A and B are shown apart, each in its own frame.
Chain A
Amino acid sequence: AQSVSQHNHHVILSEAASLELGCNYSYGGTVNLFWYVQYPGQHLQLLLKYFSGDPLVKGIKGFEAEFIKSKFSFNLRKPSVQWSDTAEYFCAALYNQGGKLIFGQGTELSVKP
C-alpha cells in the first residue's frame, strides 16, 4: 500500500542547530513529494515540492529537501534553525499524478531560544 512515514515524532533543537527531518515513502509508481509546515494556530503551508529534475529542491524560509530514489527518501534540511521554525512538519506524497495526498504522521519541531 502507498504510505509515507516520518522518523521522528518530536524533535527539540537549540537555535542555530542544523535540522534534518526524515521522510520515507513506499514504492507505488511515479511519485511527487512535498513538505508542508503548520505553525501554531495557522493552516498548512507548502514548504517545498519535488516533481522531477534536480533531486535537491529549495523551498521557502531556507529549507531544502533531497529526493533519493534508491532510498525512497525525501528528507528535509535546514542549516540553522530559528525559534520561529517551531511548528509541525508533514511530509506528503502524490502517486501516479492522482489527487490523493498521502501524509506522514508529522514531526513536531521545538526550537529553544
Chain B
Amino acid sequence: ETGVTQSPTHLIKTRGQQVTLRCSSQSGHNTVSWYQQALGQGPQFIFQYYREEENGRGNFPPRFSGLQFPNYSSELNVNALELDDSALYLCASSLEPGAEQYFGPGTRLTVT
C-alpha cells in the first residue's frame, strides 16, 4: 500500500510569484486535506477536497486555491506569494471527510 506522497520536497520562490504543490493520496482514499505548518506551530487547515469538490475551507485568502482530480490526487496553488507564506505545506488523505487523516512528508516552501 502506497502512502501519501508530495512533490516537490523543497521549493524556493520569489515574492509575487505563483506556486503549485502536488499530492497523491493513499490508495483507496477519496478525500484530501491541505495544511500549512509554520515553524514551531501546529498545522493550520487550508481546505479539503472530497470527490473533486471543495468540502471546507480554513482562514486563508482566495489566493490559496486547490484542485482534486478524478484519481483523487490534488494540487495546492498559491498566487502572489508573500514572505509569510514560507512554511511546510502538508497534504493528508482519508477514506472520507470525517475519518482519520494520513499525512505526507510535506513540501518546504521558502519565499524570498
Contact = CB atoms under 8 A, between A and B. Distances in A.
A98 B43 contact: no
Interface string A95-111: 00111111111100000
A97 B97 contact: yes
A99 B106 contact: no
Interface residues of A, number: 23
Contacts of B94: 99
14 contacts: A32-B98, A32-B100, A42-B105, A43-B105, A44-B43, A44-B92, A49-B100, A98-B97, A99-B33, A99-B48, A99-B56, A100-B56, A102-B45, A105-B42
A67 interface: no
B64 to A, nearest CB: 14
Contacts of A36: 103
Given A34-B100, A103-B42, 16 more contacts: A43-B104, A43-B105, A43-B106, A44-B103, A46-B102, A90-B43, A94-B98, A97-B97, A97-B98, A99-B31, A99-B48, A99-B50, A99-B55, A99-B56, A99-B94, A106-B42
